[in-house]
Amino acid sequence: MKNVLASIGIGNASVDTVLPTAAVRPGDTVDAEVHIEGGKVEQEVGTVRFEIETRYLTDDGYREVDLSRFTLAEGLTIQPGQSEVREVSFEIPYDTPVTVGGVKVWLETELDISLAVDPEDKDYLDVRPTPRLQAVFDAMDDLGFSLKSAECEADPHGRYTSGRRFVQEFEYRATGGEFRGTLDEVELVANPGPDALDLFVEVDRRGGLLSELSGTDETKTRARIETTDRASVRQQLEELLRKHV
């Protein structure tokens, strides 16, 4: 009877991943502990699996996606009442979105147990921007822009990157400074890496109805951010935006 109950999750083994902090940045290496507790019966664990996940918006609603997945252990036998702690290190991928607005990122730990409900643990992450992306955010603030939205959206045609199904788009409105009244909005898509950040920029100028209908009020361009200095990034973005006013 205990085996039957465990197969539907009653008296099953459990797993809990303990993180030193929920705050992470893309490119970070995180050290954590995985606590496994045996249930009422002996159980064979095929794998202890990790997945870093998020969700992105499609025409049909939100879809979940794995940013990274890896295996900690294979072929474990967990005895009734057994407690086991395993240490694990994993990297936060550079394409992990920043958790602003409604964007969510989480680490899911799962015990793969044959013929039973797989025990799992979900830990939400507070993903902060990389230093270069933070410099971009600060520079946009200095230039009089306010963040309107930051959504993960499907990119089925790979307009910005290859091999990724979605991008995170930051939409800014000009609420002050020299660009207020001349630019409607600026949309940014960041592609960070260890040595630089590629920034895709769409500038929406304030124009008349004809220009909006024809699409001539929008310009797409890009910049490569190699510094974390706020003033330097501000100057770089200011010069770029002035070309498209």
Enumerate the domain spans of the chain. Answer: 2-127, 131-242
Look at residue 228 in the predicted model and tell me its pLDDT: 97
Whole-model pTM: value is: 0.86
**214 pLDDT exceeds 70?**
no
Look at residue 162 in the predicted model and tell me its pLDDT: 61
User: CA dist 149 to 9, 57, 170, 174, 188, Å?
Assistant: 40, 13, 6, 13, 11
Residue 185: band (very low, low, confident or very high) from pLDDT cuts 50, 70, 90: very high
How confident is the model over 19-46, as pLDDT tens digits?
999 999 999 999 999 999 888 878 888 8
Buried b / exposed e along 147-173 (16+ C-beta atoms within 10 A): eeebbbeebeeeebeeeeebbbbbbbb
Residue 117: band (very low, low, confident or very high) from pLDDT cuts 50, 70, 90: low
- pLDDT average, residue stretch 117-141: 93
Look at residue 245 in the predicted model and tell me its pLDDT: 79
- pLDDT average, residue stretch 87-93: 93
Name which CATH class applies to 2-127. Answer: mainly beta
Between CA 69 and CA 19 the distance in angstroms is: 17
Q: Token pair of 122, please?
A: 């979900």
> Which one has a higher pLDDT value, 114 or 16?
16
Out of 97-111, 152-166, 180-194, which region has the weakest mean confidence (pLDDT)? 152-166
Contact 49, 69 (CB under 8 A): yes
**216 pLDDT exceeds 80?**
no
According to DSSP, residue 194 is labeled: S
**What is the rounded average pLDDT for all residues in the chain?**
86
Look at residue 106 in the predicted model and tell me its pLDDT: 97
Look at residue 14 in the predicted model and tell me its pLDDT: 87
Look at residue 56 in the predicted model and tell me its pLDDT: 95
Say what angle helices 131-142 and 230-242 make with each other, to 10 degrees. 60
**148 pLDDT exceeds 60?**
yes
